[in-house]
Structures are given as structure tokens and as C-alpha cells.
Amino acid sequence: MWLVVIAAWLVTGAGAWYPLRARARCLYPGSVPNCTAVMSARTQHVTTHNDTHVFVFGGRANVFFNTSLRHNIGALPPYRSLSVTATINPGSPACAALSNCWYRGVCNANGTCACAYGYSGADCSLEEDVVILDDFWIYDIYGQYWMQVPKSGAWPTARVKPSFMYHDDRLVMYAGYSQLCGDFCNDVWEYRFVPGMSPAGNASSVFRPVGWTMIGTGPSKRWQTATVLYGNCMVIHGGHHVFAALDEVWKFCFDSYNWTRIRTTGPASQPAKVPLPRLEHAASVYKTSLYIYGGMYADVNRSIDQRPSLGDMWKLDLTTGIWTQVALPGASPQERAKVQSVVIGRYLYMFGGFFDEAFYQDTWQFDLVNERWALLPMPGRAALPAPRGAYSLIGIPANNTIIMVGGNGWVRNADGTQGPEHVYNDVQAVVLDDCAGSKYSSAPPCSGNGVCLFGTCRCDTNWFDDNCSMRICPGDTCSFVDLQPVCVHCQRRGTCVNGACRCNSTYRGQMCNEQYCPNTNCSLSTHGTCIDLFPVGLPTCTCLPAYYGVGCEMITCPNMCSGHGTCLPLGHCVCDATSYSGFHYEGADCSQLVYKVDESLASSAPRHAEVSFVVLMGILWVWIAIASMIRFH
């Protein structure tokens, strides 16, 4: 049953980024929370997964900048806050006019401030009011619904960006930023669940919670670490503590519950060549190597050039502890932070991120064998996820699927300028290396008329459809809505069959762009004009005065036979044969009333004709006599 559900969802979601549904249900029979609600919008949360479910904890909601602090901060001496997460650069003359960014951010060479996390404004004097969350959610990938885990017993404090990993029916969470920790945490929590049956009885997996247990403490306080699963161990790299970013690598193994630091160095020829300390960077494991990319460098104690975001890539051999910088020939992503990556097969994938007050929505693929980046072209099939960073990204190799949850970005104003921050709660997915289900059939990808790239067919010239199975007709235009092809074939006046238009009866031409009226084609004759009424009606003939009929094929008779005859197609009247006391209509237009003796009666009854003559003569003499009397009276 699972195979059927999975295959059906893969075909539905195949293609580019695709929004999954958000529905609500109870976690298990009798659970109270989240039988009607879905996960709220959030960013800087953490996720992990078990191939069928996504687990989400904490994060922060929308942020409101408290502008009233601008009026109060001027009376106070500059101070350093424990929540600062960017490089502090005190005393820089370039930002003297901006109060040295109030020691809450980086002073750039051009005299502008790059504010630390939690601050905003030209001089970093605006402080955030932050809502930090402690709720725990589970998303069923194939059922596409959210379930909230009810709180019970011990529970971790609300926090953002801890380390979070699932392995063998256990979740482990370490550190993060929490107001209840004073600043950063170093506690370690474990959550266990027991698989159960769904309330609907459809045998889909749900979880009966056992609960959270604090199992100790880990390395020093930190947050914004990059976390990966390597074997049965959770490996963390970097992060941030007070004023400095970290470059440490630690592992927590689920079998021993022990923390071990992995000592690292550069190559033998350059042992000091190691990556800068960083946070908010991407990290993924491929075979025995840890790959990291980008992030933010922040260290107040170092005098080297400070950069808010990085664009370098490194790999660490987890068996030897040796770092090697990855050369990036050709095109590569612009430096960025607030980004994550996943590995599917031999490729590493990365979406969006943040750099210099801008959020990205591009998708990159890194070939881990040939070590080259490629920007993946995204056709206009479904809307791309909004530009964002600080989302969570998971990869499911078993199904070649990437899933992204939440994050934050900027809203654009109507005039195109940058608007306020927006925090998301959507779930986006993309299925790799499967174009319109071709992976599950013997048919060649994209029908042999294109290539499958990032789950999307890139069709050869003259082919279209989601699997390139249809040949384009002349003049066709196609676009995609929710991954389905929406095409205008033959100008909506016919059907496209094997690259040729089969026009409706009222149109013709290579693109069905020539109107064709029924019967005689009046548009190509001297009888009238074929008027195209598309799209409200069919082509209709407007006849010249001398013609009439559906196709102007009939010649108009003189005076339309005056209503006393039938007009023949050649324009001749056949007058009615009806007699009105011996009178009939005659003439070219049947307008002349003429008395006419019925010859058939005269030949068959001559006596009656003679009687009629005598009668008429008698009547005539009577009228003459009457007239004479009147005259001589």
C-alpha cells in the first residue's frame, strides 16, 4: 500500500518546486492539540525526518521592530548585547556618524552598518521584539497533514536554531538560543516515540509520544550550527557563541551517548589552511566527507577582513580530520548565509539564502564527483518558492525528494521597493530525476524528445508537454499551471495532431487563422464578407444586397417577389398560381394583378362561355341605360 501511495504522490509532485498541502489531524486517538490547526509561520526552526515524516521544533515567529527604542538609546552609552551574532567592529571611523553601529553590527567600508541579529536601522539602533516558540510538530509527507505533539512532563525551553537529529526512533536536540538560557544553551534533550496506527485505520504510521528527557549537557553554549547525520552519529560544525563564530567539529553518537570532538587541520602542505569560523552555513555529508558552503563569519577577536557572508566551499574527511578547500570552476552561487543543503545521490542541492539585504530563490546543484556547480533552470511550470532564508531543508534519498519548510524573506511593496519581513509556514517539495513518472516505466525520459533536469523535462525544439510527447503546431503557445501544461493550440480553432492543425469546420489555414463560412465561402467571392465573431460566435456571412442565404449563395429576386411568389436561387420569381376572382399576379417581381380567363374551362364548356358573354353584354346595356337616364333627368 505504501508503494502505491508513494508512487502516486511522486507523479503528482514531479517537476519543479511544488507546494504540498497543509491539513490538520490529531497525532493519535485522544490527543488534544492540533486536530484542527496547522503549524504556524516560523523561521530559524529546526527539522529532521525519518523518510515518511518531518519533525519540526521551535523557531521564531514574525518580528516587530520597536521604533520607540530609537528615542531612548541615544541617552545610553553603547553596549554589547549577548544576542549579537555578527562581527562587532568598535571604533571604526567610517561609521562614526552612525554611532559606530552602536556596537551591534559590522561597519562596512562604505560607511554603512550591517546589523547583528536582533537589530535593525541605519545605525542598528532598532531592537527586535521576538516571539520564540517551543512547540513540536510532525508533518506526514504522503498524507500531507500536520500533527502537533501535546506537551507533557519535561519540555525544552523555547529556542531557535539548535542542533536537531532523528535516528532509530529517537530525536536528539542540543543547544540553540533561548531567552530562558540567558543567551545560548548547551543542554541535550532526547525524545522517543513508539510507532502506532492512525486514527483513520489506514495503517499509515503515526507516533505515540514517550516524551522529552534532558540527558545532560554538551560542548559549550552555541547556536546556528550546521548539523548532519553520519552513520549513527550527529555531527555538528561551527555555530556562534557570544561574539565569535566557531570552527569546531563535534559528534554525538546514538549508541554511546558520548560527545567527541573531531580535531581538524589543513592539508599536510598547508596545515593552517582551514575554513573560517562561521554560522548559518550549509552542510551535507557525502560518503566520508562533510561539505560546507557559505554562511556568516563573525569573530571580534580577529583582525582580518570581516565579511557578513561567505561564498567558499570546503570538505572535511571525517576519517582523517583534514580540510580541503573545493575549487569552484565556472559559475557558482553568490556568497550567502541562512542557507541549507541536502545530498541526493551524487549531487548536493541548495536553495535560496540571504546576502546583503537580499533573499534568493535560486536552486543550485553541485556535482560531488566532478566538483562543479550548476544553476538549475526552472521552467514556468509552478511558481517558485518565495525568496527566503533561515528555512529548513531535508533530503529523502529513498524517494529522490527534497522538502523545504518555512523560512523568512522580504515582502515587496507595490512600487517594487523592499517591504516588511514575512515569515512562511508553507511546505515545498521537488522530486528529482523523475519526469512525469518516467522513472517508474520503461519509457525513455521525456519521451526521447528532451532531457530530464531537476525533475523537469527540457524539451527539444518543436516538442512540448511535461514529458515532451507532443509536437508543437505552428503558432502554438504553452505555459504550465500547477505542473500541468496549458496550451493554446491552433488559436483555439482546432486540435493539434502530430504537429499539424486540424481546424474546426469554420476555419482553415496552417494555424486555423483563416475564417471559413459555411457553404459558399463568401470571404473569397463577390457575394459577401465572412465576419469572424471569435470568441463569442462562429464566422458569419454578411451578404451584399444582391445576395442572401447562409453562405450568400442565393441571388436576391426583384422586390423579393413582392410577397406573391417564390424566389429561385438564380434570382427569378415564380409567382403564386392562386387566382383571386380570375385575377393573378404576374411580372418579374410578381407585382402586377392581371385578369385572365381560365382556358381550361373555356375549352371544356363552350356553352358556358357563350352564356357568360350574353350575361356580360346585358350588364353592359343596363349600365348604359342607367347612365342615360341620369344624364337626361
Residue 42 in grid coordinates:
516560523
Between the alpha carbon of residue 22 and those of residues 30, 197, 285, 469, 506, the distances in Å are 21, 21, 30, 33, 47
Interatomic CA distance for residues 460 and 449, integer angstroms: 6
- Residue 117's SS3 state is coil
Whose cell is 567527541? That residue is 260
Paired residues of 113 in beta bridges: 107
Confidence at residue 449, expressed as pLDDT on a 0 to 100 scale: 83
Greater confidence (551 vs 39) lies with 39
Whose cell is 358556358? That residue is 608
Confidence at residue 331, expressed as pLDDT on a 0 to 100 scale: 87
CB-neighbour burial class of residue 544 (10 A; exposed 0-12, middle 13-18, buried 19+): middle
% of the chain residues with pLDDT over 90:
37
Question: Which residues, in sequence order, are CB contacts of 71 under 8 Å at separation 6+?
Answer: none
Structural domains of the chain in order of their starting residue, each with its CATH number: 91-128 (2.10.25), 263-377 (2.120.10.80), 557-592 (no CATH)
Confidence at residue 624, expressed as pLDDT on a 0 to 100 scale: 63
Under 8 Å between Cβ of 149 and 27: yes
Question: In the predicted model, what is the mean pLDDT of the chain?
Answer: 79
Interatomic CA distance for residues 558 and 591, integer angstroms: 10
- Does an H or E element contain 186, and which? strand 184-197
Greater confidence (369 vs 76) lies with 369
Residue 85 confidence class, pLDDT cut points 50, 70, 90:
very low
Q: What is the DSSP string of 93-147?
A: GGGGGGGGGGGSEEE-TTS-EEEPTTEESTTS-EEEE--EEEEEEEEETTTTEEE
Confidence at residue 57, expressed as pLDDT on a 0 to 100 scale: 98
Q: What is the pLDDT of residues 8-60, one digit of tens each?
A: 333 333 347 888 999 898 876 666 665 788 999 999 999 999 988 999 999 99
What is the four-CA torsion angle of 317, 322, 323, 324, rounded to 10 degrees?
A: -80
For 309, other C-beta atoms within 10 Å of its C-beta total 22
Interatomic CA distance for residues 282 and 79, integer angstroms: 31
Residue 459 in grid coordinates:
524539451
Interatomic CA distance for residues 50 and 424, integer angstroms: 23
Question: Residue 199: pLDDT above 90?
Answer: no
Q: What is the pLDDT of residues 93-109, one digit of tens each?
A: 567 766 777 767 777 77
Question: Residue 492: pLDDT above 90?
Answer: no
How many degrees, rounded to 5, is the angle at CA 404 between CA 143 and CA 447?
Answer: 75
Interatomic CA distance for residues 285 and 342, integer angstroms: 8
Residue 327 in grid coordinates:
575549487
In this prediction, residues 206-233 reach a mean pLDDT of: 91
The winner for highest mean pLDDT among 288-292, 437-441, 584-588 is 288-292
In this prediction, residues 311-317 reach a mean pLDDT of: 97
Confidence at residue 41, expressed as pLDDT on a 0 to 100 scale: 95
In this prediction, residues 443-464 reach a mean pLDDT of: 72
- Based on DSSP, count helices (H) and strands (E) in the chain, helices before strands: 4, 50
Name the residue type at position 199. P
Query: Which of 51, 49, 54, 16 is closest to 38 using CA atoms?
Result: 54
Residue 258 confidence class, pLDDT cut points 50, 70, 90:
very high
Q: DSSP letter at 399? A: G
Number of C-alpha atoms within 13 angstroms, CB side, residue 87? 24
Question: Which residues, in sequence order, are CB contacts of 64 under 8 Å at separation 6+?
Answer: 128, 129
Name the residue type at position 35. C
Name the residue type at position 105. G
Q: What is the pLDDT of residues 527-538, one digit of tens each?
A: 888 777 766 677
Query: Which of 281, 287, 365, 373 is closest to 327 using CA atoms?
Result: 373
Residue 37 in grid coordinates:
490547526
Name the residue type at position 447. S
